[in-house]
């Protein structure tokens, strides 16, 4: 599960090859249309052995990742800090008050959610993850050059 969330998190920030809907596997298109029939502004991207749909759903920008056989790998969406569970908001305020937020998104796989946040200050860039509502752990820490 952790490996899949990591893969999805990396894919969010590194995917750049776009494909038209006509190039997307029909099984994937059918699965997407079944799951997200009211989606708007759908754009497709192709990665190595997966497809990514970028779309608007219930007023939010969402990314869905599919295997070539139409199986949903997971979903991601960018969040505002106000969208986080209150315990995670409080932890950020108490433990990372000297940082600003440069990126925040949620990853959902099999009804389980995880959160990734990038925090920065003048010297350091931190990526934190939370697999539940009980707190953040350091996923990556880099000194700025």
Burial 47-64 (b: 16+ CB within 10 A, else e): eeebbbbbbebeeeebbb
pLDDT, position 133: 79
Domain 2-74, what fold? Answer: Nuclear Transport Factor 2; Chain: A, (3.10.450)
pLDDT, position 142: 95
Q: Are 45 and 76 in contact (CB under 8 A)?
A: no
Q: Where in the chain is the domain with CATH 3.10.450.360?
A: 2-74
Evaluate if pTM is beyond 0.85: no
- Taking alpha carbons only, the member of 111, 109, 140, 91 closest to residue 2 is 109
111 vs 24: which has the higher pLDDT: 24
- Taking alpha carbons only, the member of 13, 11, 59, 49 closest to residue 28 is 49
What does the pLDDT look like over 83-106, one tens digit per residue?
999 999 999 999 999 999 999 999
What does the pLDDT look like over 19-28, one tens digit per residue?
344 488 899 9
- Taking alpha carbons only, the member of 58, 66, 64 closest to residue 83 is 58
Cα(64)–Cα(32) distance, integer angstroms: 8
Q: How many CA atoms lie within 13 A of 130 on its CB side?
A: 19
CATH 3.10.450, applies to 81-143: yes
134 to each of 48, 53, 68, how far by Cα in Å? 34, 30, 35
């Amino acid at each position: 599960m952790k490996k899949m969330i990591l893969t999805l998190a990396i894919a969010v920030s590194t995917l750049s090859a776009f494909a038209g809907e006509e190039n997307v596997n029909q099984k994937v298109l059918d699965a997407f249309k079944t799951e997200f029939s009211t989606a708007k502004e759908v754009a497709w991207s192709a990665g190595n052995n997966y497809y990514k749909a970028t779309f608007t759903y219930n007023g939010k920008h969402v990314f869905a990742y599919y295997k070539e056989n139409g199986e949903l790998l997971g979903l991601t969406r960018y969040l505002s800090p106000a969208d986080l569970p209150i315990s995670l908001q409080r932890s950020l305020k108490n433990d990372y008050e000297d940082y600003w937020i440069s990126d925040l998104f949620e990853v959902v796989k099999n009804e389980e959610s995880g959160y990734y946040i990038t925090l920065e200050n003048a010297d350091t860039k931190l990526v934190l993850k939370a697999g539940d509502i009980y707190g953040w752990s350091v996923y990556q820490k880099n000194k700025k050059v």
